Amino acid sequence: MMSSATTQSTLCTLHIWPSRWNLPSIDPTCIAAVFYLQLTIPGKFEVIECTNPDVSPSGKFPFLTHGHAIVSSVPAIISFVSSLAKSTSSGARDLDASLSALQRAKRTAWCSHVEANIGDLVAYSFYSLDDNFWKLTNHTMASMLPIPQRYYVPGRIREMHRPRLEAAGLWTQAVSEPEKDSFGKRQKKDDPKDEYARAFERDKVSTQARASFALYSKLLNGQKFFFGERPTTLDVYLASHILLLLDPPFPDQLMRNIIEESYPTIVEHARNVQTEVSQVPQQYIVAPARKQSLLSLIPRPLSNLPQTKKSRMDEADLQFRRMRWMWFALAFGGVACYVAQLGITVVRVNRRRQRVQRRGADKEHEAEVTDEEREKEEDEDESVQDGDE
C-alpha cells in the first residue's frame, strides 16, 4: 500500500479507447472506468486515449497507472480505488459504502451478468451486423488508427469477438454470395431464403435482448438507481453499456428501438447516471494522445512501465500477437527479397551492357582491320598495274 503523501501527489492515469458520439469511449468497459473514477476521485485522474492495446499489461483497455502501480480490467480498478477510499487522506469515495453484505454480493453477480449479456448485445450491434460494422464501426476505428493498422485492426477485432458471439447465438450468418454475369459483375438478386434467415435471426436476437432488458427493468422497479438515490457500481456498469446502444448512429437501430419502445425506464436510468457524472464539478483531464509511427508496428514488451503480476491472456490475444509478429516478419522478408532480386537484376543488366559494348568494340576493330587490308590490296594492285605499264 502506498503512503498518503504518494496518494495525494500522484495523479492516476486511465488509458482507454478514444471517445466518440459524446461518450468517453467507444468501449463499454472504458466508459464504466471513466464514470467510476469521475464519481469516486474527481479531479484526481487524467485520461489518455490510446489505440494500441499492446501498451497494456493484459493487452486490453482500460488500465490504470498510479505511481508504480499498474491495474488492468475494470474490477481490478474498482478494487484499487476502493482500497484508496479506506485512507481518509486520499479523498477517494467508495460508491458501494452504504451497501450491506447481501447487497454487495448481488451487485457483484449483476455486474458480471451485465458484462456478459448486455456486453454481448453491444458487441452484436458493433461487430455482428454487417451494415453496422462496415458503415460505422470499421470507419470509426479506421479514423483513429494510423497506417497500416487502420486496414487490418478493425477486422481482427471483429474476428476476436466472433467466437463469443457465436457461442451466444448472436453472430449473423453470411448471406449467399450473389451470382456473376458473363462480364464478371455481381448481380443483386434477393434470395427468399436469405430474407427468411435474416428475419428469423433478428426475431431470435430481439427475443434474447428483451429477456435481458426485462430483468433490469424489473430490478429497477421504478427507482432512480438500483440501491436508492445514489449511483453504485452496478448503475455505472449498466449505464455504460446501454449508452453505447443508444447514442452511436447505427445504420441498423435494432437495439435502440427495442430499448426506447419497450424499456423506457432503462433509458432514463442510463441518462440519470450520465447526468450524475456530468454534474461533478471537477472534470477529468484528457491528455494528448501519443503520436504513433512505424515503430509502433513492432510488438515489444513494456519496458517503460513497472512490472506487475503477469496477466493471463486469452487465446485470441495470443493469436493476435502471433499474427502481428508474422506480418512483421513477412513484410521485412518481402522487402529483403525484393532488394536482393533487384540487385541481381542490376548486376545482370550491367553484365549484358558490358558484353554488348565488348562485342561492339570487337566488331569495330575487325572492321578497321578489314578496311586496312583492303587499302593494302588496292595499293598493291595499283603498283602492279604501274609496273606493267
Q: How far apart are CA 381 and CA 237, in angstroms?
A: 115
Rg (CA), the chain: 35
DSSP H helices in the chain:
4-9, 28-40, 74-85, 101-113, 119-123, 130-132, 138-144, 153-167, 192-220, 233-246, 254-262, 264-278, 315-388
| pLDDT, mean of residues 52-72 | 84
**Strand-pair partners of 231:** none
Q: What percent of the chain has pLDDT over 70?
A: 73
Res. 205: pLDDT tops 70: yes
Query: Is the CB of residue 242 less than 8 Å from the CB of residue 259?
Result: yes
The confidence band for 330, taking pLDDT boundaries of 50, 70 and 90, is confident
Which of 133, 120, 130 is closest to 248 using CA atoms?
A: 133
Residue 43 has pLDDT above 80, yes or no: yes
| Residue 29 scores a pLDDT above 90 | yes
Q: What is the pLDDT of residue 372?
A: 65
Strand order in the sheet with 63-66: 69-72, 63-66, 12-16, 45-49, 285-287
As a whole number, the mean pLDDT across the chain is 79
Of 87, 51, 67, nearest in space to 13 by CA: 67
Q: β-strand 12-16 against 45-49: which pairing, if any?
A: parallel
pLDDT of residue 377: 65
pLDDT (average), residues 323-343: 75
Q: Is the pLDDT of residue 105 over 90?
A: yes
8 Å CB contact between 319 and 52: no
- If we measure between CA atoms, which residue out of 219, 135, 142, 132 comes closest to residue 170? 132
Residue 327: the pLDDT is 73
Phi, psi of 166 (to 5 degrees): -65, -40
Residue 148's pLDDT is 82
pLDDT tens-digit readout, 254-312: 999 999 999 999 999 999 999 999 988 888 878 766 555 444 444 444 434 444 434 44
State how far the Cα of 196 lies from the Cα of 234, in Å rounded to an integer: 38
Grid coordinates representing 247? 447514442
Least confident of 58-62, 222-226, 248-252, 346-350: 346-350
**What pLDDT is attached to residue 8?**
43
**What's the pLDDT tens digit per position in 132-180?**
999 999 999 998 888 888 888 888 889 989 999 999 888 886 554 445 4
β-strands 12-16, 63-66 pairing: antiparallel
Residue in 110, 106, 21, 32 with CA at minimum distance from that of residue 64? 32
Res. 10: pLDDT tops 80: no
Quick one: DSSP state of residue 300?
-
C-alpha 119/C-alpha 256 separation (Å) is 14
Question: Average pLDDT, stretch 176-200?
Answer: 58
- Rounded to an integer, the average pLDDT of 73-83 is 87
- CB-CB neighbours of 327 under 10 Å: 14
- Label residue 35 by pLDDT band (50, 70, 90): very high
Of all residues in the chain, what percent carry a pLDDT higher than 90?
Answer: 31
190 vs 256 pLDDT, higher one: 256
CA distance 49 to 286: 8
Residue at 13: amino acid letter: T
The per-residue pLDDT for 137 is 92
- Cα 100 → chain centroid: 39
